[in-house]
Structure 1
Amino acid sequence: MGRPGADTSKVSVLGVRHHGPGSARAVRAALNEIEPDLVLIEGPPEADAVTSLVGGLEPPVALLVHLADTPKAGSARSREGWGFWPFASFSPEWAALRHAHDNDVPVRFCDLPAAHTIAERIARAEEAEERREQAANEEADAPSEVGEPPEPDPTPERAEDPRPAEASEPAGASEPAEEPRVRLDPLGVLAEAAGYDDAERWWDDVVEQRVDGEPSPFPAIADAMAAVRAESGPETGRDARREAYMRQTLRGALKQGYERIAVVCGAWHAPALRDLSDYSIKDDTALLKGLPKVKTTATWVPWTHGRLATASGYGAGVTSPGWYHHLFTAPDLPVHRWLTSAARLLREEGQQVSSSHVIEGVRLAESLAVLRGRPLAGLDEVAEATTAVLCEGEQTRAALVHGRMAIGERLGSVPPETPMVPLQRDLMAAQKRLRLKPEAFDRDLDLDLRKDGLRERSVLLHRLRLLGVEWGVPRTPDGGQRGTFRESWRLRWEPEMDVALIEAAPYGTTVASAATARVVEIAADAELPTLTALTEQCLFAELGEALPDVLALLTDKAATDSDITHLMSALPPLARSTRYGDVRGTDSGHLRAVAQQILARIRVGLVPAVRGLDDDAAARFVKALDRTHNAATLLDDDLPAWLDTLADLAVRDNVPGRIAGRVNRVLSDTGRVDAPELRRRLGLVMSPGTEPAHAVAWLEGFLQGSGLILVHDEELLGMIDTWLLALPEERFTAILPLLRRTFGAFDAGERQEIGSAVTRIDGGGATDVRERRPVDVRRAAPAVAAVLGLLERSGA
């Protein structure tokens, strides 16, 4: 039974599908007719504190509810202590918010508080962590022969970003476990009853493509959902608690004396709120008793159309938010306007599209709608018309239009008075000062560090990366072009970055102070490679206050760490830092001293480190060796001693073939081994007494990265060719996969050049003289001047 005396005739329940232009238009029309004195919206009540900001919001936006306190990064509270509730201009909930704001009508959110939702998720995540830790401990205690792998963690990782089926549920956080329950697909049932085989197409035809002036669909929707719910049985678990809380909120509003209450909720919940007398107050109270709770706070953040799309994983998403936005904002002649915009986009891309294309496209889209029995042309028909007429059947051009228009790249905005942590405000001020606008699409940014404003942009992006805000990602290795004053970035703002800023708030009130504190915290427990990387990042981010602490720890670790792989990993960023220290105006004397100390220790430990390595380990060591050589080159004065060490290693026995070959290539490229000596060493490696597999490994290490040396030294190529021809068939077959791996790593141009060189070999020997065309200095002069100009402008 319901509350005695409850007058549900005062309540109008508007059951909607979240994020639909027809639903939003119908809600707007119904509210204008009802003229409610209170609007209730399905969503977390924490939003009540920020509804006053609706007038300054530009959708798409999202309500962000997060823990009032800032949890430790990486903890279950940090991963699960927040949730998003997104709204677009075509969301019916947004239409209700705007109506309430524009007409000065009280508005409240009536779903189960996020304080309970978040508490449930945190408890579940903590339980999963305990199970994982317990399983790990049991595995460690058990004998290795019978050890079982730990049970997989049922809590999804953040990267998977599973989305619930209701928009009033937080987007971007995992759901609490519930007992399994079979629920009929209400749209599928109603679509089948109407003779449709596609529920989405039925809903679009019946609701989303509605125009102003049509009768309200909400009574019929509520009746249809009541019939479907009767087949499914009563709600249980979390959905039952949600509906109980909505009913309690509605009863409270009636008790307060409101006469015309409009409730905007998911269509599935409409019967549960319309028929209050079917539910007992006592039962609803019991359902809500003893729920876990945490302290939360709410704010608004910008959202994107891409994050509203089903393809993003959002459970309440729509296939084409850009199309829905178009239908909502252009109710008259939507097909004509859409194809006109598509034609404009194609013309901007250099395609020849005329007004006649648009006219024929409109005719085709409308004809397809008639043939398919649809009241209006939908996105399918418009897309086919775009492909066939505007793009003349070319799928690539059509995909461009679909990606940019059907999904869209719209990013919303929030007013300055929106509640924010100080760190967010500092970032907004920096973005405004540096004219670096956050955008929802990829944008390439090239920076010349010699210009103060551009260098400050670089500093900001590097500081944000230290805080876990990957707004910008370097497009070049190691964050910049080595030895130059230039950096290249790819920028894209994602809504989750606001969460990362909130999580980083305890480190400081500004981006600079927070990044400094974060670096010091990371350095305290870091290994040597991490410390050297942090040193480089401190220079990029101009964190002068953090650098002394990091360098002190780095010096201590470098003096005590005996792992040569750690030392080889640590040296490259430190050597680069000596160069960037000069570029960014930082004294690099201390950095160079530490780098020289590390290089000296690598030289001492290099020979023992290569003994007994298998092929895979040797391949990894070769990469480390190349990075170390590049670092030694940056240190200049230390390069001769490093090459002396390599020269000693190159002539030692029992060095893995791949490493020996690579060392000899480095010595050859630097002039420490001349051509005759190199041929002599290759001859020894390919002598009959040497295992062919070792010789091929030597050759692979020698040629790694570039095989053009064989083009310029035909005698060397002839030696290899002669050796291969002399191998017995079974031994050649055995090493063939290794040869394919070696030569397959070259690009097509290199392989072609080597093949041409082989054809010039006469009987296994090199040709006497390789003919070369004379260089026309006069004709080459403009090209040389252009290359020199490019090198000068690049700072190389």
Structure 2
Amino acid sequence: MQDSRVRVFGIRHHGPGSARAVRRGLEEFAPEVVLIEGPSDADPLVMLAASETMSPPVALLAYATGEPSKAAFWPFAVFSPEWQALDWAAKNGVQARFCDLPAHNMLADQRELSTREGDPLAELAAAAGYDDTERWWDSVIESNSGTGSSDVFDAITDAMAALRETVPIDEETAHREAYMRQVLRKTLKDGAQRVAVVCGAWHAPALVGPLGPASVDARILKGMTKIKTSLTWVPWTHSRLASVSGYGAGITSPGWYHHLFTAQDKTVARWLTKVARVLRAEDLPISSAHVIEAVRLAEALAVIRSRPLAGLSEVTEATRSVMCDGNDVLLDLITRKLVVGESLGEVPEETPTVPLEADLRARAKTLRLKQQAGAKNLDLDLRRDIDVERSRFLHRLALLDIDWGVPAEDEVRSTGTFRETWALQWKPEFAVSVIEASLWGTTVSVGAAAKIEARVQAPDIALAALIELLEQCLLADLPDALTRVLTSVKTVAALDHDVTHLMAALPILTRTLRYGDVRGTDVSALTEVADGLLVRICTGLPVAVTGLDDASAEEFRDHLDKVHAAVLMRDDPESIERWLKVVSGLIDRDDINGILTGRMVRLLRDAGSISEIDAAQRLSRALSIGSAPVDKAGWVDGFLGGGGLVLVHDRALLDLIDSWVGQLREQDFIDTLPLLRRTFGAFEAGERRAIGQAVRGGRVTETSVETDARRGRAAMAVVSDILGVNA
């Protein structure tokens, strides 16, 4: 027999139909206390739900103090029955409390308790003839949200009670329901005459009727472990509701459910109007007639299927047929933007938080960076002070593993160094990242610097990794950390005798030297380090290139390319001369792998250190009798690897290689073919086509491209008009 003082509302988490019914039920029952499924140690945060600046979707976050990675979320949307219960209690001056197992028990016992497998609601859906639980609940409850009665909760409780007789209760559920009963007993003992309980439908039968002796529940809860936890409110998003839920009841269509709850009338027509608006934003010709026909089709489908209202499946099919012409790509766009949607909630400023998060919010506000769920590209002009500060701020967050901003490719083609593009998207899980990062400091800049220093002190850190940290220090403008990193770079570089390590570090350091000034950063201290690295590389290079096999030579070739590019990019005459002099002294040695010799000849030729005639003579000697065909192919790969323009513009070189290939014996050709194919396969399609034309006897010049004089004159006329000159 049910206690007349208690009314249990068994709901579906994040269900708009349940939310409406709960609201009506609370109005009818007028409870003195509302108990809501949620961690009971979050009661001090309930009052914040009444704040005018609290805007769902939001979530309760509980984490182990000192170990933020151990955390759990309890999300709430505006269409969540639990949120509506909180909102009703706040507006009616009624006490609201959470009644579920405390977070300090749940987080401590995550590894110990057995949990139920499968979805018991799926059995009810199957019994009703539905193969999809979402569609069943949508049809029975959600789509009836405007006309249903609060009595529906009695029917739900009876159905769950019958289902629980066939499904064993898992250990986690037993603990949680025992605790809920204990809270309910205490609430009644404290004198409450009308208590409303808002909980998941699965738990409703355990709270209806006589609660039984408290000693039984006390024995169930005895011995549960606990850990120290902290709780707070954090912003949440609809997309996160679609993928995960602290209740284990993630939903696939939060945007649709939000519409069901907020659209009081003409639900289908209003929804399809939103669909039309999204498609029109993509420049698609969607008219009012499309909306009208789609509404008619959705409602007709509902009638055929004996459903009281058109649900998500009906409006989706109508959208596909009428508005998308069967195009599933457009339908996927609607799903992402509307059915799931992206809506980021807000929490009051007085919400408990770590100092680092407060600093992050303040800095973001100062820099006019808005936390939003949707992805957005931010183009920075580093000649502007505010954009420089934004860049430093985002780089500091990246160091703390808070990836609010991710470097992106600039949509504006520019060879300058003053542009920077970031892809911004705030994700709810960053709340945990912020808490984890707070271990490093109370502000973003202090935390980033502390993390850099900790990484510098890591044992056996490689020189290249140190140089990367040094670059990050400059980008994030962390002068104190930069000093420590510089000291470590000098120490490690002096003790590291592996030339490949030094060669891996120099390009990163050179890039920092090249692009640091655009941010107004003093990089003069790095010049000495770069000079020292180059001297040591040049000193150790003759030994490092000796006696390498093909695999090692290919790996070393990459280092050669990067160091060569870095030296030329730095544009320091003394450094360039030192580097080219060392490389020039190696190309005549016989103990160096042909891949490297060919590469060094190519680098010297491109830099103008040796003439084209000299390079051709060296290629001729390399292909002459005396070496194995595979070794010759390696030399060719070293010389040509990465680009075939040299063959397009130098017919003599092409003739040498063509002649050598033509003279190969059958077995030699078979042996060298894989390497040659790899070499020539890496060329651009245009390069390969031009080389093929030349081999067949065509000309390898710009005149081989067909031109249209008439179109050319028209283009020149336009250019003349733009420049203001006579054609």
TM-score, length-normalised on structure 2? 0.91
Which residue type is aligned with residue 591 of structure 1? L
Partner of 1:587, secondary structure, is coil
- What does the per-residue CA deviation read over 1:477-528, in whole Å, with 9 as the maximum and x for residues that have no partner? 9xx9886111111111111222222222233322122222222222222432
Q: Are positions 1:194 and 2:191 aligned together?
A: no
Deviation of the 1:597 alpha carbon: 0.5
Cα 1:720–1:221 shift into 2, 3 Å: same
Contact 1:658 1:702 in 2 (8 A): yes
Q: What's 2:374 paired with?
A: 441
Which residue type is aligned with residue 366 of structure 2? R
Deviation of the 1:311 alpha carbon: 7.9
Which of residues 88, 92, 112 in structure 2 aligns to 1:99?
A: 88
Cα 1:624–1:382 shift into 2, 3 Å: farther
Question: How do 1:722-761 and structure 2 match up within 5 A?
Answer: 722-760=659-697
Partner of 1:336, secondary structure, is helix
- Provide the rounded CA distance (Å) in 1 between the counterparts of 2:193 and 2:579: 87
- Provide the rounded CA distance (Å) in 2 between the counterparts of 1:622 and 1:268: 65
Contact 1:29 1:212 in 2 (8 A): no
Q: What's 2:30 paired with?
A: 35
Partner of 1:212, secondary structure, is coil
Q: What's 1:418 paired with?
A: 351
- What does the per-residue CA deviation read over 1:67-105, in whole Å, with 9 as the maximum and x for residues that have no partner? 33xx3xxxxx3432x221111111111111111111111
Contact 1:507 1:518 in 2 (8 A): yes
Cα 1:613–1:96 shift into 2, 3 Å: farther
- Provide the rounded CA distance (Å) in 1 between the counterparts of 2:242 and 2:702: 66
Q: What's 1:532 paired with?
A: 467
Which residue type is aligned with residue 398 of structure 1? L
Deviation of the 1:347 alpha carbon: 1.3
Q: What's 1:3 paired with?
A: none
- What does the per-residue CA deviation read over 1:185-236, in whole Å, with 9 as the maximum and x for residues that have no partner? 4222212222333322111100111223422221111111111111123x24
- What does the per-residue CA deviation read over 1:214-265, in whole Å, with 9 as the maximum and x for residues that have no partner? 22221111111111111123x2422211111111111111111111111111
Q: Are positions 1:220 and 2:209 aligned together?
A: no
Which residue type is aligned with residue 253 of structure 1? T
Partner of 2:610, secondary structure, is coil
Deviation of the 1:767 alpha carbon: 8.0
Which of residues 90, 114, 119 in structure 1 aligns to 2:79?
A: 90
Deviation of the 1:417 alpha carbon: 1.3
- Provide the rounded CA distance (Å) in 1 between the counterparts of 2:686 and 2:454: 49
- Provide the rounded CA distance (Å) in 2 between the counterparts of 1:507 and 1:310: 30
Which of residues 226, 241, 254 in structure 1 aligns to 2:175?
A: 241
Cα 1:767–1:262 shift into 2, 3 Å: closer
Deviation of the 1:676 alpha carbon: 1.6
Question: How do 1:396-795 and structure 2 match up within 5 A?
Answer: 396-476=329-409, 484-525=417-458, 526-637=461-572, 638-760=575-697
Which residue type is aligned with residue 425 of structure 2? R
Q: Are positions 1:65 and 2:62 aligned together?
A: yes
- Provide the rounded CA distance (Å) in 2 between the counterparts of 1:312 and 1:738: 54
Q: What's 1:151 paired with?
A: none
Which residue type is aligned with residue 660 of structure 2? W
Partner of 1:435, secondary structure, is coil
Q: What's 2:279 paired with?
A: 346
Deviation of the 1:664 alpha carbon: 2.6
Deviation of the 1:679 alpha carbon: 1.7
Cα 1:211–1:119 shift into 2, 3 Å: closer
Partner of 1:299, secondary structure, is strand
Which residue type is aligned with residue 494 of structure 1? K
TM-score, length-normalised on structure 1? 0.84
Contact 2:2 2:209 in 1 (8 A): no
Contact 1:444 1:491 in 2 (8 A): yes
Q: Once structures 1 and 2 are overlaid, which stretch shifts more, 697-706 or 583-592?
A: 697-706
Q: What's 1:19 paired with?
A: 14
- What does the per-residue CA deviation read over 1:119-140, in whole Å, with 9 as the maximum and x for residues that have no partner? 234xxxxxxxxxxxxxxxxxxx
Deviation of the 1:587 alpha carbon: 2.8
Q: What's 1:232 paired with?
A: 167
Which residue type is aligned with residue 203 of structure 1? W
- Provide the rounded CA distance (Å) in 2 between the counterparts of 1:784 and 1:496: 56
Cα 1:178–1:417 shift into 2, 3 Å: closer
Q: What's 2:69 paired with?
A: 79
Contact 2:298 2:314 in 1 (8 A): yes
Q: Are positions 1:325 and 2:263 aligned together?
A: no
Q: Are positions 1:250 and 2:184 aligned together?
A: yes
Contact 2:301 2:314 in 1 (8 A): yes
Deviation of the 1:470 alpha carbon: 1.0
Q: What's 2:47 paired with?
A: 52
Deviation of the 1:267 alpha carbon: 1.1
Number of equivalenced pairs: 711
Where structure 2 has 5 or more consecutive residues not aligned to the other structure, the ranges are: none
- Provide the rounded CA distance (Å) in 1 between the counterparts of 2:210 and 2:608: 90
Contact 2:694 2:700 in 1 (8 A): no
- Provide the rounded CA distance (Å) in 1 between the counterparts of 2:313 and 2:620: 68
- Provide the rounded CA distance (Å) in 1 between the counterparts of 2:109 and 2:559: 47
Contact 1:463 1:512 in 2 (8 A): yes
Q: What's 2:141 paired with?
A: 207
Q: What's 1:262 paired with?
A: 196
Contact 2:74 2:245 in 1 (8 A): no
- Provide the rounded CA distance (Å) in 1 between the counterparts of 2:436 and 2:199: 32
- What does the per-residue CA deviation read over 1:274-315, in whole Å, with 9 as the maximum and x for residues that have no partner? 1444x5422311222222212112111111111111389994
- Provide the rounded CA distance (Å) in 1 between the counterparts of 2:697 and 2:716: 28
- Provide the rounded CA distance (Å) in 1 between the counterparts of 2:596 and 2:213: 79
Contact 1:539 1:580 in 2 (8 A): no
Deviation of the 1:393 alpha carbon: 2.8
Percent identical pairs in the alignment equals: 51
Deviation of the 1:18 alpha carbon: 1.1
Q: Once structures 1 and 2 are overlaid, which stretch shifts more, 11-20 or 618-627?
A: 618-627
- What does the per-residue CA deviation read over 1:622-655, in whole Å, with 9 as the maximum and x for residues that have no partner? 3232222222223332122112222233333243
Cα 1:772–1:354 shift into 2, 3 Å: closer
Cα 1:370–1:734 shift into 2, 3 Å: farther
Deviation of the 1:358 alpha carbon: 0.8
Contact 2:144 2:309 in 1 (8 A): no
Which of residues 281, 300, 303 in structure 2 aligns to 1:367?
A: 300
- Provide the rounded CA distance (Å) in 2 between the counterparts of 1:308 and 1:186: 20
Cα 1:678–1:311 shift into 2, 3 Å: farther
Which residue type is aligned with residue 121 of structure 2? L
- What does the per-residue CA deviation read over 1:687-720, in whole Å, with 9 as the maximum and x for residues that have no partner? 3433333333333333333222222223222222
- Provide the rounded CA distance (Å) in 2 between the counterparts of 1:712 and 1:27: 79
- Provide the rounded CA distance (Å) in 2 between the counterparts of 1:223 and 1:772: 81
Q: What's 2:4 paired with?
A: 9
Which residue type is aligned with residue 450 of structure 1? R
Contact 1:658 1:700 in 2 (8 A): yes
Which residue type is aligned with residue 48 of structure 2? L
Cα 1:85–1:634 shift into 2, 3 Å: same
Q: Are positions 1:286 and 2:281 aligned together?
A: no
Cα 1:53–1:195 shift into 2, 3 Å: same
Where structure 1 has 5 or more consecutive residues not aligned to the other structure, the ranges are: 1-5, 72-76, 122-175, 788-796
- Provide the rounded CA distance (Å) in 1 between the counterparts of 2:482 and 2:248: 45
- Provide the rounded CA distance (Å) in 1 between the counterparts of 2:597 and 2:720: 37
Contact 2:36 2:198 in 1 (8 A): yes
Deviation of the 1:109 alpha carbon: 1.0
Deviation of the 1:436 alpha carbon: 0.9
